């Protein structure tokens, strides 16, 4: 407790009282916060009875405590929990959103919690309850040093020149209690090779510097040991992108995952294109698991649709807010990277102020995806490098996947001059489910599919076959220039849609379709509705690291604006040929693997389209059939002795300068739709 010295000298007495009034009463005995003159919790009205304490002999900490715990303080218990750590603005005058006004009280509550006491190993019988300050000790403390100059003298006199010491003295410049260090250091200039005294201020900080300016003081402490305090460069962020992107706490999980997962953004091929990814590590055999890159089709549909409705580790509950475990998740056997592509799909986005181009096509999409793969391998090199890598997808993935695979092969063949040099990307194959491979075979097989599934009759089928370019061909390429054919074919397709049958699964009702339209949205099951609810909720959660540009937008599973996509590749035969005959594939020690699989209930991309396309490719590329069509089998883990036919399989090989350069398997999944990976046939899809 400061008091003015009594003196017979009137001038000395007046000066003492003036110093007391200005230096003590006007600092400690007002509503002003002595620890930060710019902080005010507005906890005490000006006419508060607390001001009656201003001339009483109470400790400053007691007065501060009384003020801080006034009944006028609104504590955060009245609000829903918010993780304040994620909201810190280190450049703000109040970096912690008023934390100084309630943290003492909240710390008191927390450290008196029985569970916390036990966790900290201080559950000792008779131990007093924790308090922030011990006022009894404070009042009875015997202060021995009113000036620490002799202490510093003593330290410096004992320092060896061969082992110089460093001192850092820092002050927030709005702290009213401790302003003397600059005077002290000026009076005690000392740098004689034995010790270096660094005195810094932290602009805008009060007495609790780390509370008011956590970023600057962290930089000071980081630079201090390396004598870099004079540097104005920012502190290097000690957190890697891998750590930044790790999902530590996923909202809505109803179980505890045993695997790590990551989500965030990587750059596309063009500045301003930002590709969102979500990677899940394998649940088993981490040392040997391959890497799958997943791309959903459309074009323009989000990879997260596949993650949460097909083959991801969890699926969405009907409440749209919670997730349950998917026992058929593909990450039981592999790293799976779900990528939202092209830009503008799902959570991937385009900053139009940087890149204003509004053209989407196969070439630009492949370039963005290849750039994303490069950055992912840079970030996760220790996890992904050297593992077998496969490009996978569905639907329009029949174009995406081979186009991207071809580009990656070209970049790998470029060697040291290529963008993938040193990344140890071990590209070993590709997989496509219910793929769109050829406009020719897509149209050619549609009427066959409808007829042989009993949707149209023989008269309608014969009428449609009259529109073939060449009558009698097994593969009918429709000629819309033949008189009456456009109306005839449109009418037959219209019958199918007007029957309210789902184009992606002929056994699924599509009650929302009111008229004929080549509907491309995947809103065919309740899971998609739940998925939208989940992500429109999660887009406001920091766990996913979404940028502010997305927080005002709702997730659209498929972006219809990107439906204006320029389909460059109407037939993928030439792309497949380039892959098969590539130098990279020919030099692989083992065979390059291609898996083409189809749910046999899908009309949008039929198994017939895939079979006609592959048979034609085998003929043109001089491939060999190494296994004729035969059933493949599936059994549940709980009944391993019971097997069922899950579909049918046919295998081919292609040789370049070596035999078996490429092995291609063509499969069907019995009873599955376009999402043969999940929903309708999860177990067999996982097995294949």
SS (H, E, C) 558-617: ECHHHHHCECCCCECHHHHHHHHCCHHHHHCCCCEEEEEEEECCCCCCCHHHHHHHHHHH
Which backbone phi and psi does 682 adopt, to 5 degrees?
-65, -45
Instruction: Report the b/e string of 633-663 with b at 16+ CB within 10 A.
Output: ebeeeeeeeeeeebbbbbbbbbbbeeeebbb
CATH code for the domain in which residue 373 is found: 3.40.50.1820
Distances (CA, A) of 76 to 41, 44, 93: 14, 18, 20
Distances (CA, A) of 521 to 2, 302, 505, 530, 559: 77, 11, 13, 15, 9
User: For the residues 516-535, what does the mean pLDDT come to?
Assistant: 37
The 3-class secondary structure across 20-60, one letter per residue, is HHHHHHHHHCCCCCCCCCCCCCCCCCCCCHHHHHHHCCCCH
**What pLDDT digit, counting tens, does each position of 107-162 carry?**
667 767 888 777 777 677 777 787 767 677 677 778 787 778 888 778 877 777 77
Question: In this structure, are 83 and 159 located in the same domain?
Answer: no
Lowest mean pLDDT of 108-112, 169-173, 664-668, name the range: 108-112
**What pLDDT digit, counting tens, does each position of 453-468 carry?**
788 888 888 888 888 8
| 111 falls within a domain | yes
| 419 falls within a domain | yes
Range of the domain at 46: 31-138
Tell me: pLDDT of 520 over 50.
no
Is-cis flag, bond preceding 342, omega within 30? yes
Distances (CA, A) of 60 to 24, 64, 422, 577: 10, 6, 63, 83
Residue 599, pLDDT score: 84
Tell me: pLDDT of 388 over 80.
yes
**What pLDDT digit, counting tens, does each position of 273-306 carry?**
999 999 999 999 999 999 999 999 888 888 888 8
Phi-psi region of 264 (alpha: psi -120 to 50; beta: other; left: phi over 0): left
User: For the residues 413-438, what does the mean pLDDT come to?
Assistant: 93
| 312 falls within a domain | yes
Question: In this structure, are 305 and 422 located in the same domain?
Answer: yes
Between CA 75 and CA 110 the distance in angstroms is 14
**Which of 116, 138, 160 is the last residue in one of the domains?**
138
User: For the residues 226-230, what does the mean pLDDT come to?
Assistant: 58
Tell me: pLDDT of 562 over 80.
no
DSSP 128: P
Per-residue confidence band for 402, with pLDDT thresholds at 50, 70 and 90: very high
Between CA 482 and CA 502 the distance in angstroms is 29
Stated pTM of the model? 0.61
Question: In this structure, are 282 and 375 located in the same domain?
Answer: yes
Residue 556, pLDDT score: 53
Q: Which residue has the tokens 């007691």?
A: 62
Per-residue confidence band for 566, with pLDDT thresholds at 50, 70 and 90: low
Question: In this structure, are 213 and 314 located in the same domain?
Answer: no
Question: In this structure, are 154 and 131 located in the same domain?
Answer: no
Share of the chain above pLDDT 90, in %: 27
Length of the chain: 688
Question: In this structure, are 424 and 355 located in the same domain?
Answer: yes
DSSP assignment string, 311-327? ISSEEE-TTSS-EEE-T
Handedness of CA 410, 411, 416, 417 (dihedral sign): positive
Q: pLDDT higher for 115 or 665?
A: 665
Lowest mean pLDDT of 103-107, 533-537, 589-593, name the range: 533-537
Residue 317, pLDDT score: 86
Question: In this structure, are 74 and 193 located in the same domain?
Answer: no
Q: pLDDT higher for 561 or 414?
A: 414
User: For the residues 486-499, what does the mean pLDDT come to?
Assistant: 70
| 36 falls within a domain | yes
| 243 falls within a domain | no
**What pLDDT digit, counting tens, does each position of 14-52 carry?**
887 787 776 666 666 666 666 666 666 655 555 555 445
Residue 408, pLDDT score: 98
| 621 falls within a domain | no
User: For the residues 63-75, what does the mean pLDDT come to?
Assistant: 39
Is residue 661 within 8 Å of residue 592, measured between CB atoms? yes
Between CA 173 and CA 207 the distance in angstroms is 8
Distances (CA, A) of 219 to 80, 204, 435: 33, 15, 53
Q: What is the mean pLDDT of the chain?
A: 76
């Amino acid at each position: 407790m400061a008091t003015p010295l009594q003196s017979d000298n009137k001038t000395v007495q007046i000066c003492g009282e003036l110093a007391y009034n200005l230096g003590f009463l006007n600092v400690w005995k007002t509503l002003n916060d002595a620890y930060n003159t710019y902080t005010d919790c507005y906890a005490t009205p000006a006419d508060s009875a607390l001001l009656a304490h201003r001339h009483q002999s109470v400790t400053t900490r007691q007065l501060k405590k009384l003020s801080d715990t006034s009944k006028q303080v609104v504590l955060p218990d009245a609000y829903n929990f918010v993780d304040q750590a994620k909201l810190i603005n280190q450049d703000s005058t109040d970096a912690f959103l008023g934390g100084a006004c309630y943290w003492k009280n909240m710390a008191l509550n927390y450290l008196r919690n029985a569970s916390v006491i036990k966790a900290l190993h201080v559950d000792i019988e008779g131990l007093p309850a924790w308090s922030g300050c011990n006022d009894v000790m404070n009042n009875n403390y015997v202060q021995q040093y009113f000036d620490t100059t002799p202490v510093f003298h003593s330290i410096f006199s004992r320092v060896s020149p061969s082992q110089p010491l460093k001192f850092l003295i820092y002050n927030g410049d709005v702290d009213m209690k401790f302003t003397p260090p600059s005077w002290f250091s000026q009076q005690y200039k000392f740098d004689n090779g034995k010790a270096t005294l660094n005195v810094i201020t932290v602009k805008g900080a009060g007495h609790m510097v780390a509370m008011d300016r956590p970023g600057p003081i962290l930089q000071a402490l980081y630079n201090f040991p390396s004598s870099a305090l004079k540097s104005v460069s920012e502190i290097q962020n000690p957190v890697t992108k891998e750590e930044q992107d790790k999902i530590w706490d996923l909202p809505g999980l109803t179980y505890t995952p045993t695997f790590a997962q990551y989500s965030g953004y990587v750059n596309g091929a063009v500045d301003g294109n930002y590709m969102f990814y979500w990677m899940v590590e394998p649940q088993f055999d981490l040392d040997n698991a391959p890497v799958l890159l997943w791309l959903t089709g459309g074009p323009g549909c989000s990879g997260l649709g596949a993650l949460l409705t097909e083959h991801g580790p969890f699926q969405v509950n009907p409440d749209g807010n919670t997730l349950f475990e998917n026992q058929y998740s593909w990450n039981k056997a592999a790293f799976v990277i779900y990528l939202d592509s092209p830009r503008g799909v799902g959570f991937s986005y385009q900053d139009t102020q940087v890149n204003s181009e509004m053209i989407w096509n196969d070439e630009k999409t492949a370039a963005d995806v290849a750039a994303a793969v490069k950055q992912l391998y840079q970030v996760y090199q220790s996890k992904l490098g050297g593992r077998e890598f496969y490009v996978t997808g569905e639907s329009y993935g029949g174009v995406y996947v081979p186009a991207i695979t071809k580009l990656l092969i070209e970049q790998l063949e470029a060697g040291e001059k290529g963008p993938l040099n040193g990344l140890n990307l071990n590209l070993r194959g590709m997989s496509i489910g219910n793929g769109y491979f050829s406009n020719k075979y897509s149209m050619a097989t549609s009427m066959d599919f409808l007829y042989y599934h009993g949707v149209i009759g023989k008269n309608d089928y014969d009428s449609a076959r009259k529109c073939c370019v060449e009558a009698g061909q097994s593969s009918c390429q429709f000629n819309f220039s033949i008189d009456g054919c456009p109306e005839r074919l449109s009418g037959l397709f219209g019958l199918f849609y007007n029957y309210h049958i789902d184009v992606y699964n002929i056994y699924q009702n599509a009650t929302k379709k009111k008229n004929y339209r080549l509907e491309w949205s995947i809103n065919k099951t309740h899971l998609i509705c739940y998925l939208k609810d989940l992500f429109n909720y999660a887009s406001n959660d920091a766990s996913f690291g979404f940028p502010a540009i997305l927080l005002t937008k709702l997730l659209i599973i498929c972006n219809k604006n990107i439906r204006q996509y320029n389909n460059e590749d109407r037939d993928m035969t030439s792309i497949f040929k380039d892959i098969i005959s590539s130098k990279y594939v020919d030099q692989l020690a083992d065979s390059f693997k291609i898996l083409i699989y189809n749910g046999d209930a899908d009309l949008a991309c039929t198994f017939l389209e895939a079979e006609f396309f592959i048979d034609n490719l085998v003929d043109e590329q001089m491939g060999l059939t190494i296994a004729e069509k035969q059933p493949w089998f599936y059994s549940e883990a709980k009944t391993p002795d019971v097997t069922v036919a899950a579909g049918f399989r046919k295998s081919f090989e292609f040789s370049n300068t070596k035999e078996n350069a490429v092995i291609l398997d063509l499969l069907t999944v019995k009873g599955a739709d376009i999402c043969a990976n999940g929903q309708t046939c999860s177990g067999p899809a996982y097995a294949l």
